[in-house]
A and B are shown apart, each in its own frame.
Chain A
Amino acid sequence: MSEQPIDRYRRRLLGGAVAAGTLTLAPGLFLHRLAEAKPDADPVTSIIRWGLLVDTNRCASNCTACVDACRDEHGWTGHDRPRSDAQWIRKVELRDPATGREVSLPMMCQHCAKPPCVDVCPTGASFKRADGIVLVDKHICIGCRYCMLACPYKARSFIHEELSHQKPYSPRGKGTVEGCTLCVHRIDVGQEPACVEACTADGRGALLFGDLNDPKSAIYQALAEHPSTQVRADLNLDLGVRYRGL
């Protein structure tokens, strides 16, 4: 009798397992480590509240390093359909008609403490993690898109197409809503979000990531020292993303 497919994949598996011992990890996996990474087995707590400070004075209108880095990290390829393409972060240019002053800034999920997207979600897929990060649990998401309508920042998008070749650490699929995750998969292992890393690497340093609850953190001190703005502060959503120079 001919060899069964099951036997063949088995052999590949075992052969592969043997080969595993002889190769080493690629270097440079963890470039930017935060002070301390959470132990893998510990759940998140509300002791920490992650936040982001955008210094618009340092943000250049022609620069899309943060957007590109996010695309690379999460693999949200466009289909040349700007109105419906996935968009986790975008650059916004503002111009004050009275003074002519121009400001450029990245806009993404503001990680509200009181997120409207969570209020309207019928399944509980839209939720806020204990550390303040607002996420979509795509396993529960039914694709109704109420959250997209509820979001004042237009921060979420919907996947219309079947996808393949997703990034292993950023699963994405048709029929679900998505948005900035503040790179939970990186934060949880002690790295900064990809956009922050890229902005720093570019020498601009317009993005500062850290713990809004920790008086010793750079972001806490920067917020204490200089005035900053929450976009649409009138909505009282208590945002995790703050802007300086708006």
Chain B
Amino acid sequence: MRHLLPALLLLLAALPATAAAPADGSRVPLPAIDAGPGEQCVEPVEFMRRNHMELILHQRDETVHRSIRTKRYSLRNCINCHAVDAGGQPVSLDDPEHFCVSCHRYAAVKPDCFQCHSGEPEPGVPGVVGAGAWSRGLAANASRGVKP
């Protein structure tokens, strides 16, 4: 018991450092993020954090059933912007630093979207240098004799 109490106190003291306290009155502790100047998301960041899923899920039905292909809330558009690293290389879904995956891990949610959707930017998109893993994967298949 004598050992346990200091340990507990230590743990409590360490807590605010790992999960940043709500800065702006929100009820959930958010990851510590500083907004870079200039570049912008499709909506204000604070709105995106809470509501990005609503936007994409709405867009999903609009695109599939009504063929509305506006870019703004398109999942492909999110990925084209968000799954690129500083060197212009695509970030794979297996990479724990993948924008969507890393936060979903942090928040312990697991949307099924990436079972079907590529989590990587399309080749030819501004900012993307190399071919993504999906095309590398196809190349690997081809070398094993599996028809693409």
Question: Which A residues form the contact surface with B (CB < 8 A)?
Answer: 1, 4-21, 23-26, 29, 38, 40-44, 71-72, 75, 77-78, 80, 127, 129-131, 135, 137-139, 162-169, 171-174, 176, 184, 188-189
Contacts and interface: CB of A to CB of B under 8 A. Distances in A.
Interface of A is mostly: loop
Interface string B16-42: 010000000000000111101001000
Interface in B53-68: 60-61, 64-68
Contact of B116 (A13, A18, A71, A171): A171
B44 interface: no
Given A6-B102, A17-B81, A184 B67 contact: yes
Contacts of B124: 25-26, 29
Interface in B129-148: 129, 132-138, 141, 146-148
A157 B19 CA distance: 46
Contacts of B135: 165
How many B residues are at the interface, by size bracket? Answer: 35 or more
29 contacts: A6-B102, A11-B86, A13-B84, A14-B36, A15-B85, A16-B127, A19-B86, A19-B88, A20-B84, A20-B127, A21-B126, A40-B68, A40-B69, A41-B68, A42-B68, A43-B68, A78-B147, A129-B65, A137-B64, A163-B116, A164-B137, A165-B132, A165-B137, A166-B116, A168-B79, A168-B120, A171-B118, A173-B116, A174-B115
Contacts of A171: 116-118
A43 B67 contact: yes
Contacts of B129: 23
A15 B97 CA distance: 14
